[in-house]
Amino acid sequence: MGFIAKLKKFIWTKHFLKHLGLVVLFYMVVVGFTVLYLNISTNHGQKIEVPLLKGKHISQIKSQLEELDLTYEVLDSIYNPKLPEGTIIDQDPEPTKSSLIYVKEGRIIRLRLSKKSELVEMPSLIDKSFRFAEKILENRGFKLRIEYQPTNESDGAVLDQKYKGKFIKEGTKIPIGSTITLVVGKNEMGPPVELPNLVGMTIFEARDRLNEVGSFVYVTICPDCMTSSDSLQARISSQTPEFFEGAMVTGGSTITVYATKEMIHETP
């Protein structure tokens, strides 16, 4: 008897058919159980529409996602001063209406939010030229305010850097968009000029007189000038430096005058 004939005879024996049936049954049970498990565990056939969240505030979406059996996760925050802090600017996955993507319950929607402030490190600008310091601050998103301070050696250089009126050291992190005050040296000292006599003049006549003879820092003190009319009429009773014949002062010096309304009646 040939091999093929013996094989056919063996296949049709009860012993072989019995074991073949057990193998097929086992296979069907395993496959069926696996399919059933996957259908249950993966929510096969379930389709939940992803809502549009962009443009909403983070506080508005919690109940909306809970109703859909969805959750969210904040990936990061992006600086955007034009939007209220906490506004959703990006979501993953995108809304179903635009992406045609559906999800199953429990899916995490990943979000990116806006924030109105971003911390930036303050550089060291001391002894740097004003123009260089100005560019550095602009590149880091800071605003700039300048105060000049008379100096003989550091003309145009940064002498001090301040934030909210106090010195700010290098590396300090402050919000982007903050105003930094730079104290810049300015050599304003000019050649000596003759000190004019300002006593008896009005405040504005004295200012014009100083502008004629040179460049000065003009400071007015008038305790009883309560209105603009008072300031227009009040006259100078004394000055510092005090006038005397032939007195000389350096250009750029500070001239302080003391004015009073009482001088109005004493002036003919």
The string of pLDDT tens digits covering residues 68-98 is 889 999 998 888 888 898 999 999 999 988 8
Task: Tell me, yes or no, whether 197 and 262 share the same domain.
Answer: yes
81 preceded by a cis bond (ω within 30 of 0): no
Task: Tell me, yes or no, whether 35 and 99 share the same domain.
Answer: no
Contact 163, 178 (CB under 8 A): yes
The CATH number for 108's domain is 3.30.10.20
pLDDT, tens digit, for every residue of 45-54?
568 889 999 9
Task: Report residue 6's pLDDT band, with 50, 70 and 90 as the boundaries.
Answer: low
pLDDT, tens digit, for every residue of 145-179?
988 887 766 778 899 999 999 999 999 999 888 99
Q: Using a cut of 0.85, tell me whether the model's pTM lies above it.
A: no
Tokens of 19: 């074991």
Task: Tell me, yes or no, whether 196 and 260 share the same domain.
Answer: yes
What's the chain's average pLDDT? 83
Q: What is the per-residue pLDDT for 265?
A: 47
Side-chain-facing half-sphere of 228: CA atoms under 13 Å: 0
Task: Tell me, yes or no, whether 68 and 34 share the same domain.
Answer: no
Which is more confident, 67 or 29? 67
Which is more confident, 120 or 32? 120
Task: Tell me, yes or no, whether 136 and 201 share the same domain.
Answer: no
Task: Tell me, yes or no, whether 81 and 103 share the same domain.
Answer: yes
Task: Tell me, yes or no, whether 95 and 134 share the same domain.
Answer: no
Task: Tell me, yes or no, whether 93 and 141 share the same domain.
Answer: no
- Predicted confidence (pLDDT) at residue 136 exceeds the cutoff of 80: yes
- Predicted confidence (pLDDT) at residue 129 exceeds the cutoff of 50: yes
Task: Tell me, yes or no, whether 211 and 150 share the same domain.
Answer: no
Task: Tell me, yes or no, whether 106 and 85 share the same domain.
Answer: yes
pLDDT, tens digit, for every residue of 8-37?
665 667 776 677 677 777 777 777 666 666
DSSP labels for the chain? --HHHHHHHHHTSHHHHHHHHHHHHHHHHHHHHHHHHHHHHTTTT--EEPPP-TTSBGGGSHHHHHHTT-EEEEEEEEE-TTS-TTBEEEEESPPHHHH--EE-TTPEEEEEEEES--EEEPPP-TTSBHHHHHHHHHHTT-EEEEEEEE-SS-TTBEEEEEETTEE--TT-EEETT-EEEEEEEE-----EEEPP--TTSBHHHHHHHHHHH---EEEEE-TT--SHHHHHH-EEEEEESPP-TT-EEETT-EEEEEEETTHHHH--
Which is more confident, 233 or 10? 233
Q: What is the per-residue pLDDT for 16?
A: 67
State how many domains the chain has.
4
Q: What is the per-residue pLDDT for 268?
A: 42
Q: Which domain holds residue 59?
A: 48-115
Task: Tell me, yes or no, whether 201 and 250 share the same domain.
Answer: yes
